Structure 1
Amino acid sequence: MISVKDISFAYKNADGKAEKPILSRFSLDLPENTVTAVMGESGSGKTTLAKLLLGLQKPDSGEITGLDGKRISAVFQEDRLLPWYSARKNIASVLTDTKAENDALTEAILEETELTASADKPIRELSGGMQRRVAIGRALAFGGDLLILDEPLKGLDEELQKRIVPRIKKRFPTILLITHSEDEAKLFGAAKTVRLK
């Protein structure tokens, strides 16, 4: 199990001095085969927590255990897509198996994210909601032991959310959902909810 233990973190100013702490002695366990929701307003440290788990930031104190040998996939608040690639190529860009295996997985994920008809369009020609689905698809293709979702359903209508969430959960039984939405946490069936202030 991945555990966050007594983590403290503050961003530094230009002089290298710590500003207001974002997280202070924060602890969280992420049980396997469970959706854990972390909720809170903007600036409460939700995205910072994701960056710490991904190793993009280092805590000032405390530790994160259980990451050894774990593969973590993520959907960030920003889609972070390759704009010169098509939806298909963005999803396939994280794959390392043989071409036949990659092609089969890419096609399956395009279908699961309902992007088959737009698979070969450049990203810049896709709507915001479609780009969001490409970002989700890329994370699903990358695979792993834990999926971190940071406000994953923005731009998706309610019916589409209801269809896609079960497909996400089928591929990733262990999820850290970062959201400000009670409805989103319920839709994912979060078994555990932690609130940041």
Structure 2
Amino acid sequence: MVQGHKFQDLEETGAALVAYINSSQPEKLMEVKSDNLAIFDQHVETKKFVTQILKGVAEIEESASQRLLDLEEEKKHREHELESLEEQLRQCTAKSQITDSELQFLQGELERLRNSEHELQTLQNEVDEDTTEVIPSAVYVAQVYYLITRIKWEYDTQPSILKGVHYGADLATPINIDTSLRSRSDVSDQLWDFVSSEW
């Protein structure tokens, strides 16, 4: 039923088309055909132009996508470099702090050594002054004692030992007295015995 209805519509359309063609003038048909061909040619040109535009847009989109991917990759690379530089900066900062601490410690040590050197120099100067003043007088006193007693003492003995040599007129007599075993008066008497009473 439905197919019959469609066929009938087709027949009516065909009949109307035949009637139109029969009623139309050939010149008009040629003009319509020419216009139709021009429209078709224009449609083909437009299609080619639109195809080129779409192809260009696709190429631009592909290029832009590739550029975007390249920029993303470059961004990741820069972020990695930035992280690496930040880590190096942290390490350098830590080393700098350690170096600053070591430098402060070494400066303190240097200052302490300078103070010690200054103190040693002061002591050296005092010793030099004392030596300049005391030693000549001590040497003088020792020479006077030797001229009177004719005893030359050894000074590298233990504190309680008196050791030396008495140079008499005829012979030299060694002296070796342990003062811890004898009284001071006995030691004094023994030493005075070496001294000649003849002037």
What's the TM-score bracket when you normalise by the shorter of the two chains?
under 0.3
More relative contact order, 1 or 2 (CA 8 Å, 6+ apart): 1
TM-score by length of 2: 0.18
Flag the structure with higher strand content: 1
Q: Which has the larger radius of gyration?
A: 2
User: Whose helix proportion is higher, 1 or 2?
Assistant: 2
